[in-house]
Structure 1
Amino acid sequence: MNKFSLGDIVRLRKPHPCGNYEWEITRTGMDFRIKCLKCGRQVLIPRRKFEKSVKQIVRRLEETL
């Protein structure tokens, strides 16, 4: 099973310039697309950088279904 999946909410180590730490995963693969839950900004970052910057998984999509 993959560690991250679409719809998961993750907390990153560093805040976004808007001040938010929580992001929703909207795309997985070699690159991850994540969406800021405060301002809605979407960012595409490489998998390696994403995995290093994740502090914790706040909520998994499967838990909410």
Structure 2
Amino acid sequence: MINKFYIGDIVKMRKVHPCGSDEWEVIRVGADIKIKCLGCSRIVMIPRSKFQKGVKKIIKSNAPEEEINE
């Protein structure tokens, strides 16, 4: 399970959104995660635990340089 998410990350979710897209951009991180659908721009806020279970992979990471090199 992936634990670290950053604002600006593009993630692929397990379930497809009704618009047909499965790619989302992370807008806010915390106890809840706010994500925006890249297909229709719908914004959804879901609990971190449900989000972590639903993420298939991180397509584009926006992690700081220090953490990428570790």
**Normalising by the residue count of structure 1, what TM-score does the alignment of the two structures yield?**
0.90
Q: Gaps (5+ residues) in structure 1?
A: none
Larger-Rg structure = 2
For residues 22 and 3 of structure 1, what CA distance do their matches in structure 2 show? 17
Give percent identity, aligned residues only.
56
- Give, in angstroms, the shift of residue 62 of structure 1: 4.4
* Paired position in structure 2 for 1:11: 12
For residues 31 and 52 of structure 2, what CA distance do their matches in structure 1 show? 11
- Give, in angstroms, the shift of residue 61 of structure 1: 1.9
* Paired position in structure 2 for 1:56: 57
Q: Gaps (5+ residues) in structure 2?
A: 65-70
- Count of residue pairs brought into register by the alignment: 62
- Give, in angstroms, the shift of residue 3 of structure 1: 1.2
